[in-house]
Amino acid sequence: MKRNNFLIEADELLMKLENKNIRIYDATITDDQYLQGHIPGAAFFDHEKFSDPNGKYDYTILPEAELAAQIGNAGISNDSEVIVYACGMLPYAIRAWWILHYAGHNDVRVLNGGLSAWKKAGGKIDQAARTYEPSIFKGQFRSNMFASKEEVLASIEDGDVAIIDVLPLVSYEASHIPGSVCLPCMDLMQGNMKEGFDTLLPNDVLALHFKDAAQYKRIITYCGGGIAAAVNAAAYLLTGHENVGIYDGSLYEWLGEGLPTIGTGKWEVWQKK
C-alpha cells in the first residue's frame, strides 16, 4: 500500500476543505475532546457505534450487515472521500481507517499528525457539533483484516505466522500470548506521553522495525482491545506486507476466555495503573 493512499498531510487537507464529497471524522475516543475543538465540518466518529453492542468485550467489530448500515448512517457512501483523524492519539484514527477499509471502502485516509498538524498548518478550529446526512454504503468485506481467537490459537505453533503484541514491554512481560513477540506501537509513532502520539514514522524507518516480516505469510497484531494493534497492522501494510490481520478481541478476550498466556499474570493490575 502506498503511503499517500493511507495518509494525508494537513496542507493537502486544507485545500480540500470545500470539497462537497469529502467526509471528515474526528475519531478521538470521547466526544468531550471533539466538542472542545475540531476541524470545521468534521463529524464525530463514535467508536461505540461501530462496535458490537452484544459483544462480551469492548470495541469488537459489528457484524458485517450492521457495520455496512452504520457506515451509511454516518454519512459515508462508497463514493465519499473520507478523512479520519484524532487528537493526540493516532491509534484511534487508524482503527477507524481499518474498520472502513475492512468494509470495502477504498478512499479513506488518515490525517498524519492529527489535530496538532492541522493547527500548525494554519487550519481553523470549530466547536459546533456536525453530522452528515445518512447515505447508503454497500460493503465488500476483506475478511482477512481481522483474526479470531480460533485463528490465533491455531497460529501459535505455525512458523509461517507472526503474532505481534503492540503493548509496552511491561505489559508483554506481565502477560502475552504464547509465541508472540513484542513490538510496541509507540515505537512506530512520533510524539510523547504528554502531548500524545499522532504522527506515523517514515516508511524507511518503519521498515527497519520489520526487517524479519518478509519470512511470514501472515501477520496478526493484538493489544488490549484491538485499537492500538491497528498502528502496527497498518505499518506492515505500508511496508509491503499484504496479509495482515488484527486480533479484534485481543487480550481482553484472550484473558477473559482463560486461554494460555506467558508472563507474571499481573496484566490487569498493570492496566489499572
Q: Are 157 and 177 spatial neighbours (Cβ–Cβ below 8 Å)?
A: no
Domain 144-271 has CATH 3.30.390.30: no
C-alpha cell at 90: 493516532
pLDDT at 82: 98
- What confidence score (pLDDT) does residue 267 get? 55
pLDDT of residue 88: 84
Confidence of residue 181 (pLDDT cuts 50, 70, 90): very high
Mean pLDDT over the full length of the chain: 93
pLDDT tens digit sequence for 54-66? 999 999 999 999 9
Categorize the per-residue pLDDT at 266 as very low, low, confident or very high, splitting at 50, 70 and 90. Answer: low
Q: What is the pLDDT of residues 1-40, one digit of tens each?
A: 999 999 999 999 999 998 999 999 999 988 899 999 999 9
pLDDT at 192 over 80: no
Q: For 3-141, which CATH superfamily applies?
A: Rhodanese-like domain (3.40.250.10)
Residue 111 has pLDDT above 90, yes or no: yes
Domain boundaries, the chain: 3-141, 144-271
**Does the pLDDT of residue 251 top 70, yes or no?**
yes
**167: pLDDT confidence band, cut at 50, 70 and 90?**
very high
Q: Which candidate, 150, 147, 179, places its Cα nearest to that of 163?
A: 179
48-101 residue pLDDT tens: 999 999 999 999 999 999 999 999 999 999 999 999 999 989 999 999 999 999
Residue owning grid cell 512458523: 159
Checking if the pLDDT of 126 tops 50, the result is yes
Tell me what pLDDT residue 272 has: 32
- pLDDT of res. 271: 42
* pLDDT above 90 coverage of the chain, percent: 88
29-40 per-position pLDDT tens digit: 888 999 999 999
Q: Is residue 238 pLDDT above 90, yes or no?
A: yes
Q: Do 144-271 and 3-141 have the same topology in CATH?
A: yes
Three-state secondary structure of the chain? CCHHHHEECHHHHHHHCCCCCEEEEECCCCHHHHHHCECCCCEECCHHHHECCCCCCCCCECCHHHHHHHHHHCCCCCCCEEEEECCCEHHHHHHHHHHHHHCCCCCEEEECCHHHHHHHCCCCCECCCCCCCCCCCCCCCCHHHEECHHHHHHHCCCCCEEEEECCCHHHHHHCECCCCEECCHHHHEEEECCCEEEEECCHHHHHHHCCCHHHCCEEEEECCCCCCHHHHHHHHHHCCCCCEEEECCHHHHHHHCCCCCECCCCHHHHHCC
pLDDT band at 269 (very low <50, low <70, confident <90, very high): very low
Phi-psi region for residue 210, left (φ > 0), alpha (ψ -120 to 50) or beta?
alpha
pTM attached to this predicted model: 0.94
Residue 270: predicted pLDDT: 37
Q: Name which of 115, 66, 108, 63 is nearest 89 in CA terms.
A: 115
Give the model's pLDDT for residue 244: 98
